[in-house]
Amino acid sequence: MNNQAEIVRVLEIKLSDVRVGFLAGYNDGKNIFTFAHEYINLEKENRPTLSLKYYDQPINVFRKPLISRVKLPPLFSNLLPEGELRDYFVRYLKIDSDHDFAMLSLLGRDLPGAITAREMAKNDVPPYAINYRAQIPDQIITARNNVANNFSLSGVLMKFSMFEKNGEFFITKSKNIGNWIIKIPSTRFQHVPFNEYACMQFAKSAGIDVPEIRLIKLSNIKGIPDILMPDERFAYAIKRFDRDQKKRIHSEDFAQIYDFYPAQKYKGTNYETMARTIYNVFPDAINDIQEFAARLVVNIMIGNGDAHLKNWSIIYPDAIHPHLSPAYDIVFTRAYIENDDSIALNLGKEKKTIALSLDHFKKLAKRADFDWNIIKKRVLETIQRARDNWPTVLYDLPMHDLHKQKLKQYWKTLTPDFRIVI
């Protein structure tokens, strides 16, 4: 029998100022999240919601730990970067790309939503949070104090969590937390900041709830690492809906809700399942399901093939009850991928934009078990607002001319229910 002690590091997980639990990372790659006893013992009306799967649940649900190997459980793994930003931190930490625990320890001060993760000293960890044979190192193993850019944002393209001061934007350091997300120009795709800014303005003009957005000069951004960038002058900025001044507002994306890893964001489920969750669980179900349907219409009409599970989120404005978050990451993806003729997830068993019609929204309502009339008026209003506003808005926005031409060609491919004539 092997009696060798396991080595473990422990992160304290908080929602704002409330200790929620402990995430233990063992040297064999095992990760175990255990809810804190004081969190479990809170009165239900005072217990902040960690994830929708724990919303309005009996107390015994919190006694079951989350266990995973190498990668953290999806609830935490989805807090971490993908793509270029992840590669940057992998190189910094000199770790394997799947080593989520080390990355969360580094970046846990400024994460999406209200979650924070802080590595704990040996004497601060309660015995129930780790295996009885496990040993915690005497010294905290973290590089956090040696890196300025210790924030995390999910997503593939390079982006930064920043705060604004006198018209300039700074990467979060020390006690500052970012209240803006800044997306710099991509070396893979041209003019993404202009594309996303234009598409978000399209969405706003169609009645969609969007945060404040801006195009900002790269010269007004301070502290960007020395990374390769194209010859473009502007970045895209979006105000964070999970921040209110220095206050954190909890949020989570639908990949976290359904326990899917980022790699499953295009295939984990469908829009009907998401609609059913919103309608059956959210307190303000009518307004949220109408906004959800309107946003689907916009994604179809704008040619956004990237409205996957991680590009839909919910927020907890009062820390407890869920509400659909404002829209984000709406992009005319066909501008970059010529054969991009699909939406991200199935809608009425269909993904091809050239085949989608109002009948698919009727199917969505039927399969999500609510009356079509609940969303019908909002869907039709959104279509009409797009038809009324977008042709004019298109000429006024700083979208690249080639992208404008492609968008006008795309509108011609849509079924009569969604087509825009220009």
Does residue 39 register a pLDDT over 70? yes
Q: Provide the pLDDT for residue 135.
A: 82
Smallest CA-to-CA distance from 318 within 21, 53, 12, 55 is with 55
Which DSSP letter does residue 27 get?
T
Poorest-pLDDT segment among 134-138, 166-170, 325-329, 403-407 = 134-138
Poorest-pLDDT segment among 172-176, 226-230, 411-415 = 172-176
pTM of this prediction?
0.92
**Do the beta carbons of residue 358 and residue 350 sit within 8 Å?**
no
CA distance 101 to 33: 11
CA distance 170 to 84: 20
Name the CATH topology of 159-413. 1.10.1070
Place of tokens 């039709």: 380
Spell out the alpha helix ranges (H) of 142-243: 192-205
Does residue 218 register a pLDDT over 50? yes
How sure is the predictor about 99, in pLDDT bands with cuts at 50, 70 and 90?
confident
For all residues of the chain together, what is the average pLDDT? 91
Does residue 148 register a pLDDT over 60? no
Q: Provide the pLDDT for residue 100.
A: 93
Q: Provide the pLDDT for residue 157.
A: 66
Q: Tell me the per-residue pLDDT of 408-419, one tens digit each, with 9 for 90 and over.
A: 999 999 999 999
Does residue 155 register a pLDDT over 70? no
CA distance 279 to 98: 35
Does residue 300 register a pLDDT over 80? yes
Q: Provide the pLDDT for residue 351.
A: 94
Poorest-pLDDT segment among 95-99, 109-113, 164-168, 396-400 = 95-99
- Kindly state the average pLDDT of the residues 102-107: 90
Handedness of CA 274, 276, 282, 287 (dihedral sign): positive
Which DSSP letter does residue 393 get?
H
Q: Tell me the per-residue pLDDT of 183-216, one tens digit each, with 9 for 90 and over.
A: 999 888 899 999 999 999 999 999 999 999 999 9
Please indicate whether residue 149 or residue 96 has the higher confidence score (pLDDT).
Answer: 96
Q: Provide the pLDDT for residue 140.
A: 63
Catalytic positions: 306
Does residue 145 register a pLDDT over 60? no
Q: Tell me the per-residue pLDDT of 337-356, one tens digit each, with 9 for 90 and over.
A: 887 889 999 999 999 999 99
What are the boundaries of each domain within the chain?
A: 6-146, 159-413
Place of tokens 């002058």: 233
